[in-house]
Structure 1
Amino acid sequence: MSSDKDIHPSPLKPNDHLANERTYLAWVRTGIGIMAFGFVVVKFSLFVKQIGFVLQTKVAAPSHGYSSIIGIILVALGTLAILFAFLQYRRTESQLKTGTYKPTTLLTTLLTGVILLISILLIAYLLQSV
């Protein structure tokens, strides 16, 4: 014999939904921050090149041109973080409504790994330019 708890999913509590929204908005802020950092990386590289042109001197900057690539990758990573955050938000919302919520760390693990990899690449890039 099953109880009422087994038949009906637990009702969605406002606090659960609000916590899900706060988590989503935190991920959106993280994505925007990553995108802004990528934008700054690209624009700073262009700024250094333009200063050298205006001053008609050779500015001591690495000539590899990796900063544009790194900046674009960071903007793309920020965009992907926001997209995955939205998908996770919708998945969690659905699970909360059906009473089948199961926490996951996939998004956190994935973003941490990618940011760690980009950090290592940035450190290597900066060491070459010193």
Structure 2
Amino acid sequence: MIPCFGDHAANERTYLAWVRTAITVMAFGFLLERFDIFLAYASRAAGQPVPRLHVHASEVLGPLLLLFGALVVLLVTIRFDRNRRLIDSPEVRSYGRTLLERLMAPLLIVMAGFLAVYVARQLLAIG
């Protein structure tokens, strides 16, 4: 029997949820990096000339999201290991939020807002 198995399993589930989030952020970065290809295809399918798209923002933000996702994986791996050691430790400690948790939601909100404005501007350029 593994001591504190329920705590270890919860720690692992949390770790895997963070890894899935990081993979999603990286996939979002890749999609944003290639968004200009979709816009060119959509304008051709609509029978319109391909407008000059302003893709510089996506060329910058896409790789930043890829790096951010990789950083999330690194940080949650460190957090997972720290929590694993704390679960096994006989010493009682308080559990506090990490910097990653404090920054993730605001950063994702900013990225979502940027994408909404960016997509709207690009679609207006096509239509």
* TM-score, structure 2 normalization: 0.75
Give aligned-pair identity as a percent. 29
Alpha-carbon contact 2:36-2:55 (below 8 Å) kept: no
Distance in 1 (CA, whole Å) between partners of 2:52 and 2:25 is 23
Could you list the runs of 5+ residues in structure 1 that have no partner in the other structure?
1-10
Match of 1:123 in 2: 116
Q: 1:126 to 1:64 in 2, by over 3 A?
A: same
Q: Does 90-99 or 17-26 show the bigger shift? A: 90-99
In structure 2, stretches of 5+ residues that fail to align are: none
Say how many residue pairs are matched: 117
Would you say the 8 A contact 1:45–1:68 is kept in 2? no
Q: Deviations over 1:20-39 (max 9, x none)?
A: 01100110011001101111
From 57, 67, 72, the equivalent of 2:63 is 72
Cα RMSD between the aligned structures? 2.6
Change (3 A) 1:120 1:50: closer
SS of the residue corresponding to residue 34 of structure 2 reads: helix
In structure 2, relative to structure 1, the CA distance for the partners of 1:14 and 1:101 (3 Å cut) is: farther
Q: Distance in 2 between matches of 1:64 and 1:33?
A: 21
Contact (CA 8 Å) 1:28, 1:85: kept in 2 or not?
yes
Report the alpha carbon displacement of residue 50 of structure 1 after superposing the two structures with TM: 7.5
